[in-house]
Amino acid sequence: MSTAGAQLVVVAPDALIDGFKLTGVVTATAETPDETDRVVRRLLQDGERGVIAIYGPLFVGLEEDLQHRLRASVSPVVVELPAGDGHEGAEARMSRLARRLQQAIGYHVTFGGESK
């Protein structure tokens, strides 16, 4: 995991993490809900994250009380990254992520050139 002062961190399995690293996003690897729990609790303690994005299947594997706490968190904002099940395209996943971000931060987020 990378370094101090980062505003966004993505928590995902090792198989997905390289794509995020290529974009310059700070990442943390977790393969199981237990690992995710440890990583997320550490990120919450360090207090330096503005947004924590957790890969959907890992997020739903967390204990319910932690899921509720994360969904209600304002600082940092915690969002569940859509996993994409192969049945929906990239546009649908981006739309779903934008809705989740809007719910979390109360502001509509657009992605490069989107006109909504």
CATH number at residue 59: 3.40.50.10580
| Mean pLDDT within 88-116 | 59
Instruction: Decide if pLDDT at 69 tops 80.
Output: yes
According to the model, what pLDDT value does residue 88 have? Answer: 56
Instruction: Decide if pLDDT at 96 tops 80.
Output: no
Q: What is the pTM of this model?
A: 0.71
Q: Choose the weakest-confidence range: 21-30, 31-40, 66-75, 103-112.
A: 103-112
Q: Is residue 95 part of a domain?
A: no
According to the model, what pLDDT value does residue 67 have? Answer: 93
Q: Which of 95, 100, 92 is nearest to 73 (CA)?
A: 100
Q: Is residue 18 part of a domain?
A: yes
Q: Is residue 102 part of a domain?
A: no
The Cβ of residue 53 has, within 10 Å, a number of other Cβ atoms equal to: 23
Q: Is residue 72 part of a domain?
A: yes
Q: Is residue 49 part of a domain?
A: yes
Q: What separation in angstroms does the CA of 66 have from each of 7, 16, 21, 39, 62? A: 21, 23, 26, 13, 7
Q: Is residue 3 part of a domain?
A: no
Q: Is residue 98 part of a domain?
A: no
Q: Is residue 24 part of a domain?
A: yes
Q: What is the pLDDT of residues 13-26, one digit of tens each?
A: 999 998 888 888 89
Number of domains in the chain: 1
Q: What Rg, from alpha-carbon coordinates, does the chain have? A: 14
* Residue with the two structure tokens 């994005």: 53
Q: What is the domain range of residue 79?
A: 8-86
